[in-house]
Structure 1
Amino acid sequence: MSVPRVAFFPDSYLEINGVAMTSKRFVKYVQNRGYPMTCIHAGEKTEESVEGSVINFCLARSALSIPMDEGLKYDPLFQRHRKTALKKLIEFKPDIIHITGLNDVSILGAFLAWQMKIPLLASWHTNLHEYAARRFAKLLWFFPKRIINPVSSFIEKKVLQGSILYYKMAKMILAPNQELLDILIQGTGREGRLMLRGVDTNFYSPDKRTVNDGIFRFGYVGRLRPEKNLRLLAKVENSLLEKGKENFKFVIVGEGSEREWLAENMKTAELTGFLEGEALAQAFANLDVFLFPSETDTFGNVVQEANASGVPAIV
């Protein structure tokens, strides 16, 4: 059977988050096997590069782009690239167009799939409905919970319904866990498959541990956002301190809006900011326990990375 030619439209690619990491690993997998792919993503400037069998085409976001998360933006003018992207797809002749979510890049990919009558594959990476509900609840912190909770639940329900409607455009759906896959198959009536993940066990390894000072290190790696439920770490710390435990610290790797709160409310927290490369692999290996308090993540790549580093995880 011939290998299909895939045009890949990832919403996150150059940013630092789980979706971008998964997208890059996917492209690297394709490249290592010599499969044909055109990867169209967003960035600061429009440029094209070729790496083996993969054509990377970056489209610039405009100055009117709206910040959403650390590095991630939504450009209301992104569809201005439609003719340019269409030309690239006509040259590449894809058999499948693959989108990763509901953002400017994927909207462009979905439109071009419809225009060119090319089958659309959509993978689910982010629980936007849960993110929206939790961030809205945070904005209304001054209201009593009897008001916040029903409104938050309504928002979560409506955003999920809208997302499912969007995913109905696809011929096939991929999801990172069975629960989400079942919801999407039932809601869209489309065929679906699990999108399995892996981790580089040479890069993430217990051999990269460098500390042996007797201090017990709890750790977290990821974006510091409300939906990650990071304030639970402060509760864990307080509980340990109340029990007279002292020889420990929390190593928190990442950036986001919760950083200031964590710095003000945790006595033992070491906030490293973003880490990458060997510094990140070493940070994982130096932990004794990895804590993953999020209740909204679809998969949790960092849990696999912790395990590969020889660190047990509490999820």
Structure 2
Amino acid sequence: MKAIVQDRYGAADTLEFKEVDRPAATGDRVLVRVRAAAVNAYDWHVMRGDPRLARLSVGFTRPRARIRGRDFAGRVEAVGPAVTRFRPGDEVYGDLGPVDGALAEYVSVAEDLVAPKPAGLTPEQAAALPLAGVTALMGVRDLGQAGPGRRILINGASGGVGTFAVQLAKAFGAEVTGVCSTRNIELVRSLGADHVVDYTREDFTTDGRRYDVLIDLVGNRSLADYRRALTPTGTLILSGGGAYQGGSLLGPMRLILRGKLLSRFVRQRLLVLTAVPSRRALAVLGQLAEAGALTPVIDRTYPLPAAADALRYLEGGHAPAKVVITVWEP
């Protein structure tokens, strides 16, 4: 099969479109013919081996997983003998987790990381949902406890995770403020945000407004700035940093580590958001998508051979919504 392969850390030029062995459906694994895959900030971080501390988990001298990509949507081709929920022909989607491998014609994935593709979504839309959608769900519902009367600010509302977070917070009844650049104001407003802050003209940390929850998806301000925008008992949720452009030991982890240390000494809750792929979370996202409460927004699509261009574009840090790879069209 064809896949996007990487044998050394570096820029998108290190990615190769080449022939590799097709995986098998063994044990509790499902073999999926990939129709579409999505790329995330996670993918370019692994591609670069950046920040360098992350290499302890993804491979110290080179990527442990040779094929990039986590999110996929496609059709089941075969199932292992222990699989009970799927059969060949089923349309599915999922997140491979840190093992990677979705930028390929086939993936072999554990049954518990796969869910039926939401009815009404295209393969491209479904592929855009898993990692960013689960991250947003955990931040908004689990950590942020979104609901009626909760005032939630999302810093980075026009990004891959942010576009889902805005919709989910509204679906759960919260009052939502989205922070984005001028060119993405209408996008964020169209997703249901009650208020939109243009960070090129306004500073949400000094305008006097206070929020019950602040979900930071950018990492471009200090902890003091973020805390100033919260109520005295508000919740700050830290998740990486889209503004980080690479080249350091800790990168966005520096802000997260500081938040963990400070959380012991302040009344406000300072929490770290880490997405954990699961079939149950995918099922919740699928139900919301089928009900019309959640719609993946796609900025650009690329064919599989041009996946390096997709990651190069995403690494620039200004891609609104999701970037998707079309792998196979029946």
TM-score of the superposition, structure 1-length normalised?
A: 0.30
Structure number with higher strand proportion = 2
Larger Rg: 1
Point out the structure with the larger helix share: 1
Instruction: Output the TM-score relative to the length of structure 2.
Output: 0.29
